[in-house]
Amino acid sequence: MNKRMNLMFTITAIAVMGGALFGSSFTSQMTGAALGADSSALQKIHAMGGLELVMPAAFAEAGNCDSDEYADRTVVEFPLTGVSIDLPRLGGGTFSAMTFSEQIPGPTLRVTQGDVVKMTLTVPEGEATPHGNDMHASQVTAVPTFGAVQPGTEKTYCYIAQVPGVYKYHCSGVNVAAMDQHVLQGMYGIAIVDPIDGYSKLMVEKTAVNANGDVARDRQFYSADALEFSLQYQQMYLTDEGTYDATKMFAHDTVYTAVNGQPFGYVPNDIHNLLNGHPGTNIFVAQPWNSMDLHQYQSQLLFTPTGVHNRIFVENQGNEPVFFHIVGEILDRVTQGNRVQSGATETWLLGGSQNMIVDVVYDEPGIYVAVNHDYAAIYTGAATIFVAGVPLPAINATATAISTEKYDVIGGAVGAGSYAGALGNPYDAIPPYGEQSIMHPAKNVHCMCSDGVAAAQAAEGAIELWVAIPAILEESARVAAEAAAAEE
Ligand SMILES: [Cu+2]
């Protein structure tokens, strides 16, 4: 069998398996001939008209939100829309995205252990394909819960978030068929289930010279309250036209590695060039999303103060392992579910559909790069830059120079201990706040999403930097001109 025939066989096999798993009929007939065993038992079965495997009604209704099982618990609604849209691709042009609610990743769900999640998937009339919803945080019957939702219809199910941790949710395709396409073109997201008794305080290994002049262990402890980020990894397999390329998927031939839906989405941009005193000159090796004209698609940096507990929710949504490493840092703690897997490790491995919570504290102001430490992944998009503290003198000086009474650019950054005080952190890298979240000083509008979703971020108060930065420059020039005129 040649490679292409093999591929066709596999797709057919998956489609058949999908039909068997999620087929709308739950009744199958067994004949005596098929059983081929005890003849008297077979006679009885034959007399009954065959053996019918019928799902009890109660089973088919599992997940009913009005169930007594859910009384006295907090019910959190989580509505999603399954919809295909075009979104920009690296290098120009667009690709045929499939999304939950017009954004990649889909919205993040955050609940507390013990809450009930009422999940509704709506597929609008006119959508080209059915979609489904497979939520890894739920423990419910896969059939029929995760089955296809037809265009023009919706489906709701409920479950108790029993186990804390980070969980993938994803489209289940059309009853499993084409699931790979739907997920890898963008239909995935995460659910964060906070532990019912809260997160643990963080211990970081240090050493110090004690009163006797000896070098000794000096453990440092941080509150469980943390500044939070979320990073989701995925491979993109695209044709030149931006459609899904199954042949590349089967060959593990990655075109891009996306982090939160965008390859190289968290690297410097022309705003940083400008503030760095080198307008028009890239200050990073690759700045592929580099124009304010790109609006929500312009790359952004992640900012954190030094000495602050960072909690990063990481999910591997893709098809390849993620060797998660932060260049310049040791991961102070790795938690999966509610079990600490490692305290202080250089890199942690996530297989497909695996997650972790990484706790880290940056001590020294500077630039740190979170990568999938697989060179093919780094060079196709898995390089995410964190800036700790306010370590860039050129930017500080320029920003101070253009600060005005109206736009206190660097004052905001210095006051917050990070450039997020002036520029905000990208909206799509920040999970919804929980009880132990440290608030980000500001957010900026950023996402692999439709203009409607970007507008909703702005309506929530996120900064449209493509509007704010030109306004700051204009205001700064006006103030400078006024000062010059006053001197004359
Ligand atoms: Cu789908």
Q: How far apart are CA 347 and CA 327, in angstroms?
A: 10
Per-residue pLDDT tens digits for 429-457: 999 999 999 999 999 999 999 999 999 99
How far apart CA 377 and CA 234 sit, in angstroms, is 10
Whole-prediction pTM: 0.86
How far apart are the CA of 189 and the centre of ligand 1, in A? Answer: 12
Cβ proximity of 367 and 313 under 8 Å: no
pLDDT of residue 49: 54
Please tell me the predicted confidence (pLDDT) of residue 63: 63
What's the 412 CA to ligand 1 centre distance in angstroms? Answer: 42
Kindly give the parts of the chain with pLDDT less than 50: 1-37, 52-62
Distance 123 CA to ligand 1 centre (A): 9
Q: How many CA atoms lie within 13 A of 335 on its CB side?
A: 24
Q: What's the gap in Å between 370 CA and the centre of ligand 1?
A: 29
Q: What is the pLDDT of residue 279?
A: 79
Q: What is the pLDDT of residue 137?
A: 87
Beta partners for residue 340, in sequence order: 335
How many Å lie between the centroid of ligand 1 and the Cα of residue 161? Answer: 23
Expressed in angstroms and rounded, the spacing between residue 443 Cα and the centre of ligand 1 is 30
Which pLDDT value is given to residue 38? 54
**Measured distance CA(9)–CA(442) in Å, rounded:** 51
Q: Supply angle C-alpha 255, 259, 265, rounded to 5.
A: 90
Ligand 1 center from residue 232 Cα (angstroms): 18
Cβ 430 vs Cβ 190: under 8 Å: no
Say what the pLDDT of residue 144 is: 80
How much is the pLDDT for 44? 67
Q: Can you give the pLDDT at residue 5?
A: 39
320 phi, psi to nearest 5 deg: -130, 160
CA separation for the pair 480, 63 (Å, rounded)? 64
| 240 alpha carbon – ligand 1 mean position (Å) | 22
Burial tier of 91 (Cβ tally within 10 Å: 0-12, 13-18, 19+): exposed
Residue type, 220: Q
